[in-house]
């Protein structure tokens, strides 16, 4: 739960701790000194504005939530029929960040996903990732056809791999 009354420094500290990261780890990933992170968290200074997107990404929030606090917007929405975008214009986005630093980004049109499923084709970037083996693309297509959009799947493995599946 985010608190709009907490300072930016307190928010950074809380989010860092929720991610079970040390100040040293944050500093290393952002290419700043651990003292800089400490000063941010103690409200003695603020991060450079150019670092805010990287800090937000590292802490798993948007820059808006990092700066303002408050409740996050719902990540999944069921749109009424009159607000739905055509299925043919929707995109399935898969983001995989492995614990060993590999990043995979797959952006595929939903009609291509549907055809690939129907003919039994393998989808590049998906079939060779163990963490994605239990993802049911048939179910995702069915949900999207019913008007569900947003972040449909978020998985964090015990080995440190992160996967997000988003439909836009």
Q: What is the pLDDT of residues 90-105, one digit of tens each?
A: 998 888 888 888 888 8
135 and 104 share one domain: yes
Question: What are the pLDDT digits (tens) for 43-83?
Answer: 999 999 999 999 998 998 888 888 887 655 556 778 888 88
pTM over 0.75: no
Q: Do 90 and 39 belong to one domain?
A: no
**Containing structural domain, residue 106:** 76-167
**Rounded mean pLDDT of 120-135?**
68
- Does 98 lie in the same domain as 52? no
pLDDT in tens, 128-139: 666 666 778 888
- Tell me, yes or no, whether 109 and 163 share the same domain: yes
Cβ neighbours of 51 (radius 10 Å): 16
In a domain, 2, yes or no: no
Smallest CA-to-CA distance from 104 within 120, 128, 122, 76 is with 128
Mean pLDDT of 12-16: 93
Instruction: Please say which residue of 31, 49, 68 terminates a domain.
Output: 68
Residue 83 is predicted with a pLDDT of 85
pLDDT attached to residue 25 = 96
Instruction: Say how many domains are in the chain.
Output: 2
Query: Taking a C-beta distance cutoff of 8 angstroms, is the pair 10, 18 a contact?
Result: no
Q: Specify which residues 164 forms β-bridges with.
A: 95, 154
137 and 88 in a common domain: yes
The region of weakest confidence among 10-24, 26-40, 48-62, 134-148 is 134-148
56 and 112 belong to one structural domain: no
> Mean pLDDT across the stretch 28-34?
96
Domain shared by 83 and 25, yes or no:
no
Token code pair at residue 43: 């409200």
Neighbours of 165 (CB within 10 A): 20
Statement to judge: residues 50 and 85 lie in one domain: no
- Is the pLDDT assigned to residue 124 strictly greater than 80? no
Task: Give the start-end residues of each E strand in the chain.
Answer: 76-78, 91-97, 103-109, 148-156, 162-167
- CATH for 38: 1.10.260.40
Give me the pLDDT at residue 1, please.
45
Residue 33 has pLDDT above 50, yes or no: yes
- 143 part of a folded domain: yes
pLDDT of residue 30: 96
| Whole-number percent of the chain with pLDDT over 70 | 88
Shared domain for 88 and 115, answered yes or no, is yes
């Amino acid at each position: 739960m985010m608190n709009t009354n907490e300072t930016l420094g307190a928010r950074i500290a809380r989010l860092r701790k929720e991610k079970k990261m040390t100040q040293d780890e944050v500093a290393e990933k952002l290419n700043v000194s651990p003292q800089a992170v400490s000063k941010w968290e103690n409200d003695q200074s603020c991060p450079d504005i150019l670092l805010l997107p990287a800090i937000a990404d590292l802490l798993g929030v948007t820059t808006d939530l990092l700066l303002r606090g408050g409740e996050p917007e719902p990540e999944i929405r069921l749109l009424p029929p009159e607000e739905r975008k055509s299925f043919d214009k929707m995109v399935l986005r898969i983001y995989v960040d492995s614990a060993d630093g590999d990043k995979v980004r797959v952006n595929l049109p939903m009609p291509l996903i549907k055809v690939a499923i129907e003919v039994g084709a393998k989808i590049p970037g998906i079939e060779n990732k163990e963490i994605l083996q239990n993802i049911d693309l048939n179910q995702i297509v069915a949900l999207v056809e019913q008007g569900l959009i947003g972040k449909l799947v978020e998985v964090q493995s015990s080995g440190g791999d992160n996967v997000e599946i988003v439909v836009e």
